[in-house]
Structure 1
Amino acid sequence: MEKIAVLTSGGDSQGMNSAIRAVVRAGLTYGYEMIGVKRGYKGLIENDFITLGSKDVSDILYRGGTFLQSARSEEFKTEAGQNKAINNLKKRGINHLIVIGGDGSYRGAQSLQKQGINTFGLPGTIDNDIPLTDYTIGFDTTLNVIQDAISNLRDTMSSHERVSVIEVMGRKCGDLALQAGIASGVDAVIIPEFNYDIKAIANQLSQGFERGKTHSIVMVAEGAGTAKEIAEVIKEHSILDTRPTVLGHIQRGGTPTAFDRLFTSRMGHQVIELIHQGKTGVALGMEKNKITSHTFDEIFQSKNEIDEKLYKMFHDLI
């Protein structure tokens, strides 16, 4: 019986558990023995494996985080560390490895693939910064978390006639800030993909209060600056009471949305089908509502780009 191992690596994202569930149950249906690797590549090096049956993945569909846990491993970046991981996989007789994670996790999977390990990737990151997929695991859930937080902040900002500068995650990708900003009706979005004029933003906010507004919200992606710095500059160029708010790791928590549960279930099932077909060295994603796959080389040769039409639309609607 062939063996398939699955691990989660890097930052956790809502939907990782439902992806694991789909991988395990589809794998069992196809007759594979399913193995879980605890704590990502660190567990791969330290030989931290568990056998997974259908019951082991019960009641995790709706849970955030990852029950396999995740960790970063500097040792895995070394040749010696990767050799340990490969030896452990071979000693266990594991034929295939599914990696759920972001850019760094994919690079680790690509490295193992080049050394003869059959590897596969599922895009597990809230940042939505993986090329050749419209969405990544947890992105939709995080949008909803941010939207709820903004609703709560809007109430208190209105009570005190303040400007709130909200910093969200995304690394160097502005998708979270832009899409959450559109969904929440904020007054300005600052993202790393586009230049911005902070004086013009401050002036725009001041004019809004002059028209009778009782609050304003500015959304900033962490790759474009900090909420604290931007709030200070806005305050400097206006007379507005401006407060920074960093949402931080709360964005990674919460039960995954129906979209993320369905998305991960589709990918988890599809990756097992690809294994059954004899394919290897690919990562899955969604493009135009279809589950697609591309080689790791194709992904790293591509560039993740923001939707410029969405950015224009935001400015047309404020």
Structure 2
Amino acid sequence: MTISPLQKARYQYEPKLPGMLRSGVDKIAVKEGEPTQSVADQETIKSLFPNTYGKNEITFVEGESTASPDKQVVGVILSGGQAPGGHNVICGLYDALKAASPENVLIGFKNGPSGLIDDDFVVFDDEFIDKYRNTGGFDIIGSGRTKLETEEQFKVAADVAKKHGMNAIVIIGGDDSNTNAAVLAEYMAAHDTGVQVIGAPKTIDGDLKNDDIEASFGFDTATKTYAELIGNIERDANSAKKYWHFIKVMGRSASHVALEAALQTQPNICLISEEVAAKKMSLSEIADYIADSVEKRAANGDNFGVAIIPEGVVEFVPEFSALIAEINELLAGAKADEFNALPTWKEKYEFIKNGLTKESFEVFDILPENIQQQLFLERDPHGNVQVSLIESEKLFSALVANKLKERKEKGTYKGKFSPLHHFFGYEGRCAFPSNFDADYCYSLGYNAALLIQNGFTGYLSKISNLSKPAAEWVAGGMPITKMMNIERRHGEDKPVIRKALVELDGKPFQFFADNRDNWAVETAYLYPGAIQYYGPEEVCDLTTKTLKLEQE
């Protein structure tokens, strides 16, 4: 197999571990912390997780090991969307198991949770693992979005584990995947299967975090990748001086990615979905906000700029959310067939006009026709609008163009507005992990093995103090139930991990808010450049701006 020089060099990179994990697995002890409770709905969560709720947080320290000397047979699953560093979680898990005993076994289940149910697996060895060290992607075993949530699935999982003599399963995933891990852990404990379940916090969206889980893995690499691209565009914009670039970035429910990219590049505009919701901003108000920047910059002779748009921002606009809800209702059941049978967009438009309330139709009617049509593209499995398919970067540039046209007619705006559009998403999900993510993920995997060897279940692998050098990181575990609350999902109350949204009173957003008025008018761009893997630590091992500000 032909590999690139960087790929070859990354195979040989040795990830840094927290200091207490460097003593050797036989010299690591457990320090018990305080009992925990869920973030909300404590009595309900406790009743649903009687065997795994309320457990203590734990920290690993140097000392006499209490780990089991028994042979460990562990299964591992990659679940959900890709995130840089996933391979290193598996490598760290493998190395820790083999350091404890060469007899220990790591089994990788292919293509996500369905691999466990179908018993589709590979047994890892050194040759297999060494091909994936410090590399991006999830191609080592593949991933999938099958949910483990039914009694039937749990029974099959228990049977597969018994067949292989497995004593533990590690689920590497986001909030939904680790919710499934918590439920699976409870099932395994309730049925006395002897199978432990450990989670690892993955998602580039950055919404799987709290005071204990300081960052989800992949966020560092993905945002640095996007920031490099945005910085390149900013430099091009400042060179050509004739285009406004509207850039949509991944982040369906939270705006952590957009905010971090803005902190790294200082664009003229960055929308934050959580602020849009808090201020109940309308589409027109958002368009005016962007148009103000365009107009002020044009007055300075700068007919160019950069605006960052979070992927899910339209869902946070109250009037747009109401429109989506009405469209979902309008096309429920047989009405969808009636609508789809109409031969022309003109006839479909009249159908929509007659089916919406006056208020929602007014919102619908200001949308560009291509965006109107995107609202009626293929529905999700529940029959709802797939909001992620809406090209919000084109929506806002079109609304801004209309605002500027009105201003030009009034004589208040005399500039030129030429928009270009971009969407950065998949570009960041499988990048070579940054040194931070390579180290963090390897530590998460190594730490997961220690949680298993010390008999814990229903825990999330936890590495903290992340803004410091890796030698000062702290390893331990946190019960997954601590992050859970009850939410309404598909008409039922479900225990789920609460998504962490951007905190408008948090330091990262406050820094952004304190500076954005200047960035909106001035050309204050930063050009972070490509991720660096070799060189000075202050360049190669940088954490995100978000993490640095949060821990100042």
Specify whether residues 202 and 313 from structure 1 end up closer, same or farther in structure 2 by C-alpha distance, changes over 3 A only: same
2:251 maps to which residue? 170
The CA distance in 1 between the partners of 2:476 and 2:260, in whole Å, is: 23
Give the AA of the match of 1:168: V
Which residue of structure 1 aligns with residue 394 of structure 2?
Answer: 228
* Alignment of structure 1 residues 1-318 onto 2, 5 Å: 1-31=71-101, 32-66=104-138, 67-73=140-146, 76-116=148-188, 117-132=195-210, 133-158=213-238, 159=240, 161-195=242-276, 197-198=285-286, 199-225=288-314, 226-238=392-404, 240-289=417-466, 290-301=474-485, 304-307=500-503, 308-317=506-515, 318=519
Secondary structure of the corresponding residue to residue 308 of structure 2? strand
- SS of 1:98's equivalent in the other structure is strand
User: Normalising by the residue count of structure 2, what TM-score does the alignment of the two structures yield?
Assistant: 0.55
**Equivalent position SS for 2:484:** helix
Q: Deviations over 1:242-288 (max 9, x none)?
A: 22211131121320000000111111111111222222210123443
Residues 235/293 of structure 1: CA separation in 2 closer, same or farther (3 Å cut): farther
SS at match of 1:237: helix
Mean Cα deviation higher: 84-93 or 303-312: 303-312
**Structure 1 53/85 Cα, relative in aligned 2: closer, same or farther at 3 Å?**
same
Aligned partners of 2:150, 2:451: CA distance in 1, in Å? 29
Q: Name the CA shift for 1:11/1:212 in 2 (closer, same or farther; >3 Å).
A: same
Partner amino acid for 2:401?
Answer: K
Report the Cα offset of residue 151 of structure 1: 2.5
Distance 1:242 1:294, change over 3 A: same
Contact 1:135 1:285 (C-alpha < 8 Å) held by counterparts: no
- 1:93-119 per-residue CA deviation (whole Å, 9 max, x = no partner) reads 111011111112112211211111411
How far is 1:303 from its partner? 5.3
Question: d(CA) in 1 for partners of 2:89 and 2:177?
Answer: 16
Q: In 2, are the aligned partners of 1:25 and 1:54 still within 8 Å (CA)? A: no
Task: Give the whole-Å Cα distance in 1 for the aligned partners of 2:302 and 2:399.
Answer: 20
- Aligned-partner residue type, residue 304 of structure 1: A
Pick which of 27-36 and 306-315 moved more: 306-315
How many residues are paired up?
317
| In 2: Cα distance, 1:131 partner to 1:140 partner | 13
Query: Structure 1 residues 205 and 311, CA, compared in 2 at 3 Å: closer, same or farther?
Result: farther
Counterpart amino acid of residue 183 in structure 1: Q
> For structure 1, which segment, 52-61 or 110-119, has the greater mean C-alpha deviation from structure 2 after superposition?
52-61
Per the alignment, residue 526 of structure 2 pairs with none
Structure 1 distance, partners of 2:453, 2:145, is 30
Tell me the distance in 2 between the aligned counterparts of 1:135 and 1:155.
30
Note if contact 2:209-2:216 (Cα within 8 Å) is conserved in structure 1: no
Aligned in 2, Cα 1:84/1:169: closer, same or farther, shift over 3 Å? same
Q: Write the letter of the residue equivalent to 1:119.
A: V
Q: TM-score w.r.t. structure 1 length?
A: 0.93
In structure 2, C-alpha distance between the alignment counterparts of 1:271 and 1:203, rounded to whole Å? 50
Q: CA 1:77–1:278 in structure 2 vs 1: closer, same or farther (change >3 Å)?
A: closer
